[in-house]
Structure 1
Amino acid sequence: VVAGEVRNLANRSAQAAREIKDLVEDANLKANDGKKISDEMINGYKELNTHITETIHIIEDVSKASKEQMTGIEQINDAVTMLDRVTQENASEANQVKTIADEVSVMANELVNDAKNKKFN
């Protein structure tokens, strides 16, 4: 009877050992799968970090280019303002020249008329 119980106990122990072994193997497989997933996530985060860094560099380049464009626009605006001022000065000078020319024309006409009315011997 004792030997039978020992055999039953040995069989149950062997069965329990097989179940434990299966559980350990399953846990080991799941741990390995978890490690693979974790490694893939790490690689994904590294790639994401690379893309973020590249995006930051692109944004910095765009910002720099925008500042350069703004400087160029300001220079163009200054040149247009100066050109407008010079154009207004030229227009003023032209008006003054016209006024002088009109006055000279009037004087010339008066001289011609005066000369026509004079008699020379």
Structure 2
Amino acid sequence: MYSISEAAELLDVSPHTLRYYEKEGIIVPDRQSNGIRSYHEDHVLWLKFVIKLRETQMPISDIKQYTKLFQAGDRTAVERLAILENHQKNIQQQLETLHATNEMLETKIDNYKTYILKEKHQHH
């Protein structure tokens, strides 16, 4: 079991982020008799997944919808699959954009290096 600060540190997020996910119904930590939140390994695994979805720009509304469907059980598998497939398409588009941008940057960087090298040789 982890405290909120231990779970946050483990996940490299702030306790505020974990409280926000709780408020949005994305995670329901256990509560000790004194009201203190505690997170177990299943919570941490779920949050790792959620954090990856957020890092890849999945909207909170989609994550909330996926969470509700997950909590509803196996009968929602088709809807959950559709959400994940849609997100995977978005990630593939992001990858294409990143790749194209990286190629443009490589060209620009090479141009600058060539220019700077040429300038150095002209001034010697």
Per the TM superposition, whether the score is higher than 0.5 is no
Max radius of gyration: which structure?
Answer: 1
Higher RCO by CA contacts (8 Å cutoff, separation 6 or greater): 2
Using structure 1 for the length normalisation, give the TM-score. Answer: 0.40
Q: Which one has a larger percent helix, Structure 1 or Structure 2?
A: 1
Using structure 2 for the length normalisation, give the TM-score. Answer: 0.39
